[in-house]
Structure 1
């Protein structure tokens, strides 16, 4: 494994079979749009990073994210119980990321937020290709969840794309893996393995556009006795290369560009998602939403992550059609200025 930034100060770009050893952004030769070399302060200000761990089962759905926006550290966690419609949420915003820690190694390291007795911790371990989520909140909520990409074998999506004329993004994504662990909350106590829960994971970092937006869709579960994962995005990571893909039993199948059709003013109405190559034809019916809004002048974000059910078909190349009949998953609508 090699670091992402090469000796000439430029990133390696493309879709990788092996993740980089380090996203060594401090070695990047950052320039202004007109070619003027920028220093360490500009690299710190422009570099952003986030990591996300999601849980899916018929009985419990959850998500936890951490983001380093240079001027602001952001974290959230939520749990949703489909049977009752109950939603538990907590949000954290820490100026200058005080109380936050972010590793630049997507395979080995810790990203975490600590604030007044609350802990959100995402730990990645190279041994066994394991991902761990640990949440401890002052209201008694606890989450301890993990999965492995090694047993059974799984092929992650690892991609680096150019952005504008002076930026890039690296993303490493996983969906369609079984998950184990425990959840204790006001919704009850849950054994994730007993729930037959699945997980998905996103590690993204880079020099993105100062103002950007994207849509995203993801699901993890079992269909017809096979492990299924889906990762679709529009707006980021599609310059020259695309992160769009699906997984069957850990094998990755690339997908072309996708179109998200929905009403931004009424996001809880159904969404339509289709790919240009015909592999994806889905209808998403939201059941609930986690909404984050930050407006701090220099930094702003309007983030909606919706959880609900997918209906439709997937047509992976060389495989039989995979019908979706109410599989739980996520979609996202995000605007950000950073």
Structure 2
């Protein structure tokens, strides 16, 4: 099935010599060099690094839990956080470190290789990327009064599609994003006083890699899932809307056994005063029709004066249908994932 959205040409630079986006659209793999040194949205160029946002967010979904680890640099602050959710009980814990001027935060130029590191001598997060896998290593003593540690490999086989998007935001601002769903996860993890073995037959990882410059007041909605169909094919969701100009391309897609099936506009229906009520997500062309029923609400608020963030992230189950590019109708039943609304001043 064809879609009227622009494919990135690539390879090439993200920004031209004047700081404008060299291309806009979507792709199945990261094609553009993230040359943030060309950003030119302030007259005083030395101030620009204070508004450039960069993050690497990893999630691991197991049959019983969701674990998440992030290293980020929002320009004037670093934000290092981890959280864990136990599905059956609603047990949840989250901790965040806010680091002035992002001291000690190291993030790579691109998403294909390199290391993302934060280490203050006590807490250490170390992510590394190679051609066929990602490594997530975490040590966080005293996390919820106990230890959080992880040593995980997320497999990324050649040809496994990503959802890559480049969109403009007014006044020479922009967003370059890569989402990867359904990476088989293996290794070990300790949290809540329990030791977990990550089995790639049941555990999947996801990546949200973001780089760009936003308006100070921003808003977005993001929905994601990585799981399995009854026939053991992997199924992933990446849906969203909010900031930026998505006329060239949206970030909406589902990923079946590593192959991305691109969607156009998806309409969300939900009650922002009662997030725990069911959400609807339906594409304009009828290829996606989902109901999301939350069972847990994670609320994360940060107020660092110049930076304000409020997230309502709902964990729940997706039910409905999706139609592939070839016309196969996929039945989605009780797929665990999340959907969130995020307001930020940053």
Tell me, yes or no, if the aligned pair for 2:152 and 2:187 is still in contact at 8 Å: yes
Q: Which residue of 123, 131, 138 maps to 1:135?
A: 138
Three-state SS of the structure 1 residue aligned to 2:48 is helix
Structure 2 runs not aligned, ≥5 long: 1-10
Q: Which runs of 4+ in 1 moved over 6 A?
A: none
Most deviating of 300-309 and 262-271: 262-271
Q: Which residue of 45, 51, 56 maps to 1:51?
A: 56
What do you get for the CA RMSD once the two structures are aligned? Answer: 2.0
**CA pair 39-104 structure 1, distance change in 2 beyond 3 A:** farther
Three-state SS of the structure 2 residue aligned to 1:138 is strand
| Alpha-carbon displacement from aligned partner over 1:135-192 (angstroms, at most 9, x marks no partner) | 11112211122223225x3011222111113111101111122211211122511111
Q: In the alignment, does 2:245 pair up with 1:245?
A: no
**CA pair 92-226 structure 1, distance change in 2 beyond 3 A:** same
Rounded to whole Å, the distance in 2 between the matches of 1:6 and 1:261 is 38
Tell me, yes or no, if the aligned pair for 1:132 and 1:146 is still in contact at 8 Å: yes
Deviation, 1:221, is 1.1
Rounded to whole Å, the distance in 2 between the matches of 1:304 and 1:74 is 18
2:45 paired residue number: 40
Structure 1 runs not aligned, ≥5 long: 32-37
Q: Which residue of 38, 43, 50 maps to 1:27?
A: 38
Map residues 251-330 of structure 1 onto 2, 5 A cutoff: 251-330=259-338
| Alpha-carbon displacement from aligned partner over 1:239-276 (angstroms, at most 9, x marks no partner) | 42211111111111111112222222322222222222
Q: Which residue of 10, 17, 20 maps to 2:20?
A: 10
| Alpha-carbon displacement from aligned partner over 1:253-306 (angstroms, at most 9, x marks no partner) | 111112222222322222222222222211212222332212233221111222
Rounded to whole Å, the distance in 1 between the matches of 2:334 and 2:86 is 16
Q: In the alignment, does 2:210 pair up with 1:200?
A: no
TM, length-normalised to structure 2: 0.88
Rounded to whole Å, the distance in 2 between the matches of 1:75 and 1:193 is 26
**CA pair 17-314 structure 1, distance change in 2 beyond 3 A:** closer
